[in-house]
Amino acid sequence: MNKLIDKLIIFVFCLALYLTTVANAYVIVMVLAAIIFSAASSYLDEGRITAGIFIAYVIFCFFEPVSLAFLPLLCYDVLISSYKWLWLLALLPLITGLNLLSGTASVLIPIFIVVAYFLKKRTLSLETMKKDYFMLRDQAKETALQMEKKTQVLMEKLDYELNLATLKERNRIARDIHDTVGHMLSRCILQTGALLVVSKDEQIKAGLGSITETLSEAMNSIRDSVHDLHDEALDVQVELQTLINNFKFCPVKFDYDVETNLENDLKYCVIAVVKEAFSNIIKHSDATCVSLTVREHPGLYQLVIQDNGTKKVYSDDRGMGLKNISDRVTALNGNVHISTDKGFRIFISVPKNK
């Protein structure tokens, strides 16, 4: 667009000079010729073609000296280009043809060529700046997107680390309660029980019995609290990753896509099934790769364990491991499907509780 404006400015200057220099019936012919040459040079901006059009116009100027008035318009396309010294050819028709033009034209045409040079230089500078601006803008957007992705990954990692730290702290608290308070209460219960046996006073025995009942209730309450803490601290993804890290038989591809918190029965079922499946792979498979997928769907949970082993021997009534898997899943109203088409595959689906 800037080049078009530049050429329009130069064309107006050249047209004004041309109209003041020539006065005959064929004025419009030279104007159209200049427009055609210039338009072709701009449209076919391919270096050699532009140079060829410029040389053709220079030759045309030898036959029609009045067309020198539009020479700056054609020089605009070759100035500051791969053929930038080609404009010197314009000096040849200028030297031989200016004597046929007025003195004003002989001065203004070189001036217009210089103006064309500076307009072309300004336009190229603006285009370079515009290109650099768009490049920087795109780089900034790309950097912002990369930073956003990295921030998201860091936030997810931070959430995971916080959740893992919380679970570890809950396990530590549960373990400390079990190891300290639980043991102390157990010792108190044993001590009061021993006192009940050796005591002869009925009133004291009644008091000791009441204390024993209270201690037993406290012990049961602490035991329930410890179990609740442990159940809440049980993270299926972390436990499965631990099992995978300890599974040295072959590489495991792990895909975990569960958003909601699983119920405790389902947590223990998934972990037990994966343990049993890994044990069976070690004992009976010649697999070199295992895939473990845990995925949540709108109405059910899905667990798939598959290896690429070649052993196809399988019987529904053989082995306690597969029976234990089937019993655990059936207890949750789930389904188990086992296939050996492409390696050994266990497909389990458990419906969500409404």
The 8-class DSSP code of residue 303 comes to E
Sequence-ordered list of residues with C-beta below 8 angstroms from that of 90, at least 6 positions apart, any chain:
58, 71, 74, 75, 113
More confident residue, 10 or 217: 217
pLDDT band at 144 (very low <50, low <70, confident <90, very high): confident
| pLDDT tens for each residue of 46-56 | 566 677 777 77
| 193 vs 29, higher pLDDT | 193
User: Are 11 and 119 found together in one domain?
Assistant: yes
| Between 245 and 124, residue with greater pLDDT | 245
pLDDT for 26 beyond 60: no
* CA-wise closest residue to 352 among 333, 328, 339: 333
Q: Are residues 212 and 251 in the same domain?
A: no
Q: Which pLDDT band holds residue 292 (cuts at 50, 70, 90)?
A: very high
Q: Are residues 49 and 159 in the same domain?
A: no
Q: Which of 28-37, 100-109, 258-267, 316-325 has the highest mean pLDDT?
A: 258-267
Q: Which two tokens stand for residue 150?
A: 């990295």
Q: Is residue 133 part of a domain?
A: no
Are residues 9 and 95 part of one domain?
A: yes
Answer whether residue 104 shows pLDDT above 80: no
Over residues 98-124, mean pLDDT:
74
Token pair 């020479």 is found at: 71
Mean local confidence (pLDDT), 181-200: 76
Report yes or no on 134 lying in a domain.
no
CATH of the domain at 209: 1.20.58
Does the pLDDT of residue 349 top 80, yes or no? Answer: yes
Contacts of residue 246, Cβ cutoff 8 Å, sequence gap at least 6: none
Nearest to 303 by CA among 250, 262, 341, 340: 262
- Per the model's pLDDT, the better-predicted residue between 310 and 32 turns out to be 310
For residue 134, what are the contacts with CB-CB under 8 A and spacing of at least 6? none
Is residue 39 in some structural domain? yes
Q: Indicate whether 95 pLDDT > 80.
A: no
Residue 188 lies in a domain: yes
* pLDDT greater at residue 291 or residue 218: 291
Q: Which structure tokens are listed for 120?
A: 């072309």
Give residue 160's pLDDT.
63
Higher pLDDT, 221 or 308: 308
Does 86 fall in a domain?
yes
Residues 77 and 169 in one domain: no
User: Does a structural domain hold residue 61?
Assistant: yes
d(CA 203, CA 63): 141
117 and 30 part of one domain: yes
Q: Are strands 345-351 and 290-296 parallel, antiparallel or unpaired?
A: unpaired
pLDDT at 205 over 50: yes
Same domain (yes/no): 228, 249: no
Mean pLDDT of the chain: 75
Taking residues 141-157, report their average pLDDT: 83
Q: Number of structural domains, the chain? A: 3
Could you tell me the residue range of the domain that residue 185 belongs to? 155-233
Do 259 and 344 belong together in one domain? Answer: yes
Cα–Cα distance between 121 and 115 in angstroms, integer?
10
Domain boundary among 175, 209, 233: 233
User: Is the domain of 123 the same as that of 178?
Assistant: no
User: Are 29 and 107 found together in one domain?
Assistant: yes
CA distances from 162 to 157, 159, 233, 283, 295 (A): 8, 5, 12, 37, 23
pLDDT at 44: 61
Give pTM, 2 decimals.
0.44
**Residue 25: predicted pLDDT:** 46
